[in-house]
Amino acid sequence: MKCSYCGKNNKPGAVVCKRCGIALPLDPPAAKPFSDSTELVETGTVIDAEEVRMPDHDNDVKGRKVKLSKKTAAVMACAVLFAVLLTAVIILVAVNAGSIILPGNNSYTVTGDAVIYNGDAVRPDGELTLDAVSSFDGTKVALRVRGGSLYVCSKGAYRLVTGNAKEYTISSGGQYIVFIDDAGLLWSSDVKDESSAPICVSNDAVNSGFAVSPDGKSVLYVKRSDSTLYAYVNGKVREIGQGFEPVSISDGGKYIYCYRLADNSLYYVNKRDKQTFVRSNVNGEVFLNSRHDEIVFSADSGNGITATMVCVRGGEAKEILLSDGAVMPVLPVSARKILSPVSRFLIASCPVKSFDNKLFCGAKLLSYSFKTGAGILAADPAAAKASDNYSKALYVSGGKLYAMNVKSGESDKLADSCAEFTLSSNGRIVWYIDLDNSLHAIKSGSDQLIAHGVDSFTVLPSGREAAFLSGGSLYYNKSGKPAQSYVFEGIDAIATVSDARGHYYKTQDGVWKKLGTGGKRVNLSK
């Protein structure tokens, strides 16, 4: 079987190429030429499915009266009422939570140098993780090991994508992995189709840095040979223009944002490739919504003044007034912001469908609406986080910890001293470290001192348990009660992380392990 990537002839039935390590298709597709023409070029064939018709029923009952007993009618009425109520609940939940993408069941936990799935560290072929990128819902992960091989992880299993990924990312929806190989060629791999081999997006070397749409079918990149920006959309290639750098592309290539170094400006490009100036002197981090049709960025307005701008679907960029500098979106505590590892800029995809009616934090804590503008909620906040349903937000101002009702904007002080904090996914339990490095837990309005001299801590999504490091030792606390702390002797941990499955710690040799039950009970609050 000939590898479509490097040309090596492999033995029949081979799963990966012996030379380059790339996945081989079970049924090799017919080779199709790739074109880098500026016209739309078909790179695949679409086969129309046969029309499926439902059979006709000649014995349908028409015009026949059916008599029901009172008992049957009552049962049917209750069933209809239950269905109506259930539909109302589903609609209400969809309206309130549908705008935020949160980690799903059996999702992966990604740290800086490890991937954990259902309590176990993922180590393809025993290799340590070099880096990894997760989809919004955490059910798909692109993982590169220290040997340089790139894998895709899904449902507890993993498979090799390529043996030589120089740069890579996974689409925020988790459908495709896009990577640049050692030769500078750009490739796209279908995560769901295990039998497919990666498709060459550009058979000419590209510059480092590219952008991928949420569904992964569209890629924005620059060819090294002509310094031209191209858009690969659903198997077709079109030229955008010279001198541009990729920033973002939406599904179907409908909305494209790019940057031009010559005038330090951000541009919007529509489906007809018309380029529209958005703003000059762009700096700082760029934030995208989950659809990549809204963009939040900071720009220098002169005289040392920084303004934060919002541009929606290529419309006029509007300043978030009253911000007094750069502000960033406040996300739910469980939400996963995807930092692009393949962009020349600081670009973050946020798991919210829209930035409308969201909180922003920077020099000030603001609520922002596309229609009514911004409103100041707090001055000089150090940090802010929201509950998963976005009903409650916590922030630090003047070294004090506050809780705010997002709908009403009313705030209550929780603690007089706070250096670091987090909250449970439902917002009911709060953990924080005060300015004296003491760990606290707040439940039902009661503030409990857990331990002194805490270096770092991590909390389960439920908020009911915490693991923390103090004085070089690893500890665990249950229920936020001082008497429910435990020390694990003989464990040399340097970092901790938690997910819905439990707590994990990192050893001196870089290996992540799950923290078991047990330990010696201690009371560190005294």
pLDDT tens string 416-442 = 999 999 999 999 999 999 999 999 999
Cα separation, 524 vs 491, in Å, equals 18
pLDDT of 67-126, one tens digit each?
445 544 454 444 444 443 333 333 333 333 458 999 988 899 998 889 999 889 999 988
Mean pLDDT (whole number) for 276-284:
91
> Could you give the maximum distance between any two Cα atoms of the chain, in Å?
82
How far is it, in rounded angstroms, from Cα 118 to Cα 504? 11
Q: Would you state the pLDDT for residue 261?
A: 87
Q: How is 85-122 classified by DSSP, letter by letter?
A: HHHHHHHHHHHHHTTB----TT-EEE-SS-EEETTEE-
> Nearest to residue 141, comparing CAs of 125, 124, 158, 119?
158
Task: For residues 470 and 376, give the distance between their C-alpha atoms in angstroms, rounded to a whole number.
Answer: 38
The span from the CA of 253 to the CA of 342, in Å, is 18
> Cα(471)–Cα(95) distance, rounded to whole angstroms?
46
Q: What is the mean pLDDT of the chain?
A: 84
Task: List the single range of 83-87, 132-136, 164-168 with lowest mean pLDDT.
Answer: 83-87
| DSSP letter assigned to residue 123 | -
For 286-303, what is each residue's pLDDT tens digit? Answer: 999 999 999 999 999 877
pLDDT for 46 equals 31
Give residue-wise pLDDT tens across range 308-331: 999 999 999 999 998 888 899 999
40 pLDDT more than 60:
no
* Residue 224 pLDDT > 80: yes
Instruction: Give all domains of the chain, ordered by start, each with its CATH number.
Output: 417-526 (2.120.10.30)
Residue 474: count other Cβ atoms within 10 Å of its Cβ.
22
C-alpha dihedral, 226 to 231 to 236 to 239, nearest 10°: -50
Which two tokens mark 88? 């109302």
Q: Which helix (H) or strand (E) holds 229?
A: strand 228-233
Query: 69-73, 367-371, 463-467: lowest mean pLDDT where?
Result: 69-73
> Binning pLDDT at 50, 70 and 90, where does residue 8 land?
low
pLDDT at 187 over 80: yes
Q: What share of the chain is helix, strand, coil (3-state, %, to 5)?
A: 10, 45, 45
Express as a percent the part of the chain with pLDDT over 70: 82
Give the distance from CA 422 to its chain's centroid: 19
Confidence of residue 394 (pLDDT cuts 50, 70, 90): very high
Q: What is the mean pLDDT of residues 29-43?
A: 34
Q: Quick one: pLDDT at residue 69?
A: 53
pLDDT of residue 494 exceeding 80: yes
Per-residue pLDDT, 463: 96
Model pLDDT, residue 304: 78
Lowest model confidence (mean pLDDT) among 67-81, 160-174, 301-315, 330-344: 67-81
In the predicted structure, residue 27 carries a pLDDT above the cut 80: no
